[in-house]
Every structure is written in structure tokens, then in C-alpha cells.
Structure 1
Amino acid sequence: MKFIIFISTLFIVAGCTTMLLQPADFSWPVESVLKVDDKGFVSEERYTFDINVKPIFYEEFKDSNSVSGKEIRVIRDKVGHYYFTGAGFKNIYMFKSVEGGMKLEDKISISDSLALQKPAFNQKPAYVELIDGPNKYLVTGAEIVRSK
């Protein structure tokens, strides 16, 4: 009888443990440049997601009504963070996935005075690189380092 109780308890405890798949690499090899539609949404078919980006444009420009046709750049790093920016932006927005959407983890300031002109993201082994003309920025999580 004790053996049956022991085995039953073992199965119950084993059934309650969470499966963890590690290591995982969530990075995208290249950025995606997405056009904002009339409703403020962008759609990425290669990596399969749709997300409303109007709140990003409102935070950056205090205007979310004239986003249709604008481009936003997005890349995903190794640990699964999404980075968003675009021409005219002074910040990079770092998000993490949550159930039903994305949550802002950090707003990373690039410059208080100069806006990005032609930004482009690149995936590197240890960081995400943001290139804007002659300027290069290395982004690791919420930290940014300017390099040349």
C-alpha cells in the first residue's frame, strides 16, 4: 500500500514540473522593414506576427494619426527581445513578448537632439548593431554603446 501511495505521489509531482527547453536562440538574422497600414498595424509574414505600432509613434512623435505608409524597423535578439526604431526616431524601443502582445521593457535613448536618418539593424553574435550613416551603435539589452 505504501508503495502505491509513493508511486502515485511521484507521478503527481512529476506532472507538476514545468518543461524548459534550453538553450534557445530567438534572433532574426536581418531586420525587417515594415510599412504601417491605415489602422496603425504592421505585419511580418516571414516571422509571423502582427502588432499595432501606433503607441510607439505616439511616444516618439506625440502623433499616432499620420503613421500610415511610414516604415518601422524591427529586429529580434538572441534572448527574444524585439527592437523597434525608424527614420526620425531618437530612441530604440525594446519589447518582450507577453501573452497577447508585447510589453515595453526599455526606451533606449540614442540622442536628445539628432534624429536617425536612415537607420538599419544588423544581428551580431553578442549584440544588435544599429547603423545610421557613419554612426554605429551596439545594443545589448537596454544598454547602448556608440562605436565608430
Structure 2
Amino acid sequence: MNGQIDLASRVRRRFAVEGVEATPSAVVSAVRSEPAGAVLGDSAVLRLANQVHSDLVGAGPLTPYLTDPTVTDVLVNGRDVWVDRGSGLQRVSTVLGGVDEVRRLAQRLAAGCGRRLDDASPCVDASLADGTRLHAVLPPVATEGRTCRCARFASDPSRCTS
């Protein structure tokens, strides 16, 4: 497993350095071209490529929650992740990495909305392409670290709680 984490990091770094667009097929090719990727089976390569692609252009480790139709809210407070499936917030064991990774995740989501999130503009309130509402705040406005909330409209309005 550690080898796949290192492989994913090398592939992500390669896209960042080369400035190549991270299309799904380009990510699969990059994973396969790595020496460690040559020994992986097809399903492992695709799983790793999907993870790397999501980390580069998507919601990274939040993707499973943002694509789950039962989840209405995803909150990131520092490095803790909470989700609401209609019965209140529950903490989930999702690894986001360090504070820099959380910041990059929030910036990537903001960029997906066509917005900027940085020291000069430390908060954003915008909509992602799928209609998910993004609220993200960085220090110094967020005094306890980075915070991010992705709120989705429930597909079944009867599940909404106020």
C-alpha cells in the first residue's frame, strides 16, 4: 500500500511539473509508465489512476461523499471530515493529509467554481458545476485552520431537516 501511495505522489508531482492536462487517459498512461505501475494489474492501475485524477482535478478524498446521493453536507474542519446523511453530522475516517493538502483541496474546489481562494481572498462562497454549494475559509479569517463545507440539495426533499 505504501508503494501505491508513493506512486500516486510521483504521478501527481509529474503532472504538476510538466503542466500537462490531467485527463483520465493521461493519468492512466502516467501510472503505467512508472516502474512501480508496470507490476500492477489493470484494476489496480484504474483504481490508482482514478484516485490521482480526483486528487488533481476533483474533490480528492471527498469524492465518495460528494457522489453519494444520501449525503447532503460534507464539512472539513482542519483535518476532520464530517458528513450528514439526513440524521445529523457524523465524523468519518477520511485521511486528508496535512494542512497544506487541505488548503490545496479547498483551492482546487474554489477554482472549479471559477473563484480564487488564497491569502488575499481567504473565503469563497460559490457553486460547483453540479450545483453543490461550496463555502471555504482560510486563515486568518478561519482562526482554527482551514474549513470547507460542501452543501448539496437532497434529491428527496422529505429528507431535509432544518
Q: TM-score, normalised by structure 2?
A: 0.23
Higher helix share: 2
Over alpha carbons, which structure has the higher Rg? 1
Q: TM-score, normalised by structure 1?
A: 0.24
Higher strand share: 1
